[in-house]
């Protein structure tokens, strides 16, 4: 133990002596020693020497960057400095329309012609809703083919909806034609109206002919209408679904029906909860029987008087056989 303690004491004394020598060393001698150490060290690169010598400014960095770019250009590495090639432009709308048109079969029925003169102006309210202006006095031009009427209903009621939503609109029309409370013909269902309103608004608010018809959307509407009409489309709604409305309107009859589902912007309903089904067929009252109209005429009165006088004279000249 004494030996270990002696060694520790000696080491402490030696360290204190070395620190004292360093502290007592003059500044000039310390700088000379540092210079000797730097002289023996490995030489620094030129760039680092410049940095150590003076701090780099923004002008220095720009100059260095320009020098590197010039060197890369001289070495033929300029391709690395160019931007990525631009993305090809999206196809023109005309090409998109042609591609979609090729996917749809050609339409069988010609769409309604555009008639700007007959289109009635619309009045917009807050929220973007356009209240329809109904014309119930002008007789509509009803097509002669049920499939064409069904195509019109699909196009004008749901052309911006998905194919599922368009098929659901077609199903509502067909369900009405099979319901005892509605007309039996599809065209009569589509163009059904009374003195207050029309069942499908596009048939009396000027939608037909207001704008040119999109050929692609019309062909798609006819294809979907044909598939639903021929039973080749999967059913979207129950058989008792005969009513729907857009989600931006709140009809009073919506509370009286069982809500089935919503497809896109259309809400479809089923059986009535209480009361009758809205839009049911209202048969026109039978015309009153014709009544005989009697008009007195002076000539007829005189002829009747003559005939009556002759009859009375003949009766007075007849013998009374019963008295004999």
215-229 and 146-158 helices, crossing angle to 10°: 120
Q: Given this model, what pLDDT does residue 319 score? A: 44
pLDDT of 231 higher than 90: yes
Q: How far apart are CA 275 and CA 243, in angstroms?
A: 14
Can you tell me the mean pLDDT for 256-277? 91
- When the pLDDT of each residue in the chain is averaged and rounded to a whole number, the result is 77
pLDDT digit string, tens, across residues 181-206: 999 999 999 999 988 899 999 999 99
| Most confidently modeled range among 100-104, 302-306, 317-321 | 302-306
Q: Given this model, what pLDDT does residue 309 score? A: 73
Can you tell me the mean pLDDT for 27-31? 51
pTM of this structure: 0.57
* DSSP label of 267: E
pLDDT digit string, tens, across residues 119-154: 555 555 555 666 778 999 999 999 999 999 999 999
Q: What percent of the chain has pLDDT over 70?
A: 60
pLDDT digit string, tens, across residues 31-90: 555 555 445 555 655 555 555 556 788 888 899 888 988 888 888 776 655 666 667 766
Nearest to 157, CA basis, from 266, 269, 253: 266
Q: Which tokens belong to 128?
A: 């973007």
Confidence of residue 19 (pLDDT cuts 50, 70, 90): very low
Q: Given this model, what pLDDT does residue 301 score? A: 74
The helix/strand/coil state of 119 is coil
146-158 and 163-177 helices, crossing angle to 10°: 130
Q: Given this model, what pLDDT does residue 12 score? A: 57
CB 251 within 8 A of CB 245: yes
């Amino acid at each position: 133990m004494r030996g270990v303690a002696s060694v520790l004491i000696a080491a402490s004394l030696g360290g204190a002596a070395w620190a004292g020598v360093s502290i007592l060393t003059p500044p000039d001698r310390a700088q000379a020693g540092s210079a000797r150490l730097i002289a023996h060290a490995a030489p620094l690169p030129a760039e680092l020497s410049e940095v150590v010598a003076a701090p780099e400014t923004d002008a220095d960095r720009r100059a260095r960057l320009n020098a590197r770019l010039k060197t890369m250009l001289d070495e033929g590495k300029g391709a690395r400095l160019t931007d990525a090639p631009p993305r090809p432009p999206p196809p023109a709308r005309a090409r998109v329309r042609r591609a979609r048109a090729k996917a749809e079969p050609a339409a069988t029925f010609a769409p309604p012609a555009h008639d700007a003169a007959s289109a009635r102006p619309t009045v917009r309210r807050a929220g973007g809703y356009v209240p329809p202006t109904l014309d119930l006095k002008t007789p509509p031009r009803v097509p002669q083919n049920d499939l064409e009427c069904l195509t019109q209903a699909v196009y004008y009621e749901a052309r911006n909806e998905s194919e599922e939503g368009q098929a659901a609109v077609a199903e509502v029309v067909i369900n009405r034609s099979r319901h005892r409370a509605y007309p039996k013909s599809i065209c009569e269902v589509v163009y059904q109206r009374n003195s207050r309103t029309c069942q499908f608004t596009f048939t009396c608010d000027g939608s037909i002919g207001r704008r040119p018809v999109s050929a692609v959307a019309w062909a798609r509407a006819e294809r979907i209408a044909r598939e639903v009409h021929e039973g080749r489309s999967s059913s979207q709604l129950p058989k008792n679904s005969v009513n729907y409305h857009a989600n931006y309107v709140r009809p009073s009859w919506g509370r009286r029906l069982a809500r089935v589902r919503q497809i896109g912007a259309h809400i479809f309903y089923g059986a009535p909860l209480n009361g009758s089904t809205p839009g049911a067929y209202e048969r026109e009252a039978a015309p009153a029987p014709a009544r005989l109209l009697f008009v007195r005429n002076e000539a007829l009165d005189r002829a009747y008087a003559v005939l009556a006088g002759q009859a009375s004279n003949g009766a007075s000249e007849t013998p009374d056989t019963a008295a004999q």
